[in-house]
Amino acid sequence: MYQWILGHITWPRGILGLILVSLLALYWFTRVPSSMPRNIPTVPIYISLLGLWSDMGQDDIYDRWLREPLERYGAVKIWFAGRWNVLATRPSFLVDMFRHEDVYAKAGSQKKIPWSVIASLVGDNIINSHGETWRLYTSIMKPGLQRRITDSRPLLEKSRKFVDIILEEQQILGPDRGVLVNPIIQRWAISCMGIHFMDVDLEAIERPGQRLEVLQTIIKMTLFHPLFFNFPQLDRYPYIFRQRKVAFGIMQEFGDLLCETVKQRPSHDETADGDQVVDYLDRALKEGRITEEQYRANLKVTFLTAHENTQQLLNSTFWVLGQNQDIQQRLRAEILATGEEDPSTELVHSLPYLFAVILELLRLYPPVSQLINRVTTSVAVLGGKVAIPNRTWVGWNAFGVHTDLSVWGSDAREFNPDRWGKDVKSIQNTLRSKTTQCHFIAFNAHSRKCLGQGFAVLQMKILLFEMLRRIEWTVDPQYEFKLTSGGIMAPLGLRAVINERSR
């Protein structure tokens, strides 16, 4: 009988042993390395994993677990993308990080997790490259990214179509139900990106359901899956995790379709505003200055960033101005006072309150709220206070910087466009000063400041001019505000009740 019992508890012992070994391996993998800085706190790893069982928004997560240690110490150790990193929000730390590119080198997923799904999507590109490679990409792409746009008509046409569509959607839904704005916003953003960076009218706003546009929704859901986002090591095993095999296929399909689309675009006469990004990339590939892989990576990252950030900023715009009717009315008054229906780029750039509203939206709702894409190239002391070992990834949290009372004052968490200034020149001076001091990092800062910043702001100005001129809106009373739990920051599933203004 005794022998029989022993024989039957062998399997439970084996299972318990396997569980114990697995737990020890997990602990070893997720432990904080002893070399990490000791004079800053560690954010418990479960905070990074909340998305596995919770749908809390980024603002709630930050306020509950990150704000106090970051505002007290200026930096923390945090789990992100399968490793422990240093995350900073103190402006003096960020100035050090951004100014010393040789010490805190740009290094994205292609360096951090080269086997991952996200690395297969973005590759080695202008945003995450470093040194000579970055200088090469910049020399090729900067003229296209920063070209001065004098002809506002293409953006205005897309903006008018956007307003037409949301009015049509509202008419279908009736007055008691708000329009789900994000899908329409995404189509508008992709259309604007196409005509100004890819030299092709993708007609995403006019023809919904196109594969390139559909893939964007799939990609965002795929990349920010909490399990794989925090443990990208699992992407090494697509034969075990079938959804990752599918994910790799989606990234490949997107790259192939995008390249095919731009290479087959109809030839256009040279415009007054000069060549576009794709034109410069085409020439660089033909001349052998970049490889096919580098061409694809930079084409894809241009597509993604040139539509995603304005897409999510516009989602936040619907929320903020839909809740703040006084601000919406004041902005509308500034726009209507121009007496124009076909605004030029010069006209929209002359409107101070329009500029200030956009900057304040970027301050409180920065689409890229957190980014950890720099790695130390040697032992470093961040801001002269935090000793960081070599080959440690470091980054920043813009939402934290932008809502810190010690940086922006007692009303830091309130929407107040007047804080930027009363006229365009003073607003520009404030923006320049706040960016240099790293009080405002929505477009990054110093040598790696976003090259597409000017286009993003112009795009928003043109659309808001058209929107405020033609429609009024409020947030659907049944909508419950919640920000995304990770990745890009924006309200989730926002619905707005749209009313056409009498003209």
**Radius of gyration for the chain, computed over Cα atoms and rounded to the nearest angstrom:** 24
Question: Is the model's pTM score more than 0.75?
Answer: yes
d(CA 335, CA 343): 10
The pair of structure tokens assigned to 403 is 């809502």
* Measured distance CA(286)–CA(294) in Å, rounded: 12
User: Beta strands 370-376 and 179-180: pairing type?
Assistant: unpaired
- Enter the tokens of residue 287: 């001349």
Each domain of the chain, given as residue ranges in start order, spans 1-31, 32-500
Residue 450 labelled as part of a binding site: yes
What are the contacts of 56-61 at 24+ separation with CB within 8 A? 56/485, 57/482, 57/483, 57/484, 57/485, 57/492, 58/369, 58/370, 58/399, 58/483, 58/484, 58/485, 58/486, 58/489, 59/399, 59/483, 60/483, 61/485
**CA 280/CA 277 separation, integer angstroms:** 5
Residues 6+ positions from 176 with CB-CB distance below 8 Å? none
Q: What type of residue sits at position 297?
A: A
Quickly count: other Cβ atoms within 10 Å of residue 321's Cβ: 26
Backbone phi, psi, residue 475, to 5°: -75, 135
Q: What angle do CA 260, 261, 262 make, to 5 degrees?
A: 95
- Residue reference for tokens 């139900």: 177
Cα–Cα distance, 115 to 122 (Å, whole number): 12
Structure confidence by residue, pLDDT tens digits, 352-393: 999 999 999 999 999 999 999 999 999 999 999 999 999 999
User: What does the alpha-carbon distance between residue 432 and residue 419 come to, in Å, rounded to a whole number?
Assistant: 14
Residues 108/128, Cβ–Cβ less than 8 Å? yes
Contact of 331 with 464, CB cutoff 8 Å: yes
Residue keyed to tokens 């659309």: 463
Angle formed by the axes of helices 352-364 and 292-323, to 10°?
Answer: 100
Alpha-helix residue ranges (DSSP H) falling in 174-241:
182-193, 211-223, 226-230
- Residuewise pLDDT in 10s, the chain (503 residues): 445 444 554 556 767 776 777 677 777 788 999 999 999 999 999 999 888 888 899 999 999 999 999 999 999 999 999 999 999 999 999 999 999 999 999 998 999 999 999 999 999 999 999 999 999 999 999 999 999 999 999 999 999 999 999 999 999 999 999 999 999 999 999 999 999 999 999 999 999 999 999 999 999 888 888 888 889 999 999 999 999 999 999 999 999 999 999 999 987 656 667 899 999 999 999 999 999 999 999 999 999 999 999 999 999 999 999 999 999 999 999 999 999 999 999 999 999 999 999 999 999 999 999 999 999 999 999 999 999 999 999 999 999 999 999 999 999 999 999 999 999 999 999 999 999 999 999 998 888 899 999 999 999 999 999 999 999 999 999 999 999 988 899 999 999 999 999 86
Q: Answer yes or no: are the C-beta atoms of 421 and 352 closer than 8 Å.
A: yes
Superfamily of domain 32-500: Cytochrome P450 (1.10.630.10)
Torsion over CA: 237, 239, 245, 246 (sign): negative
Q: Which two tokens stand for residue 388?
A: 């960081």
Give φ, ψ of 257 to 5 degrees: -65, -40
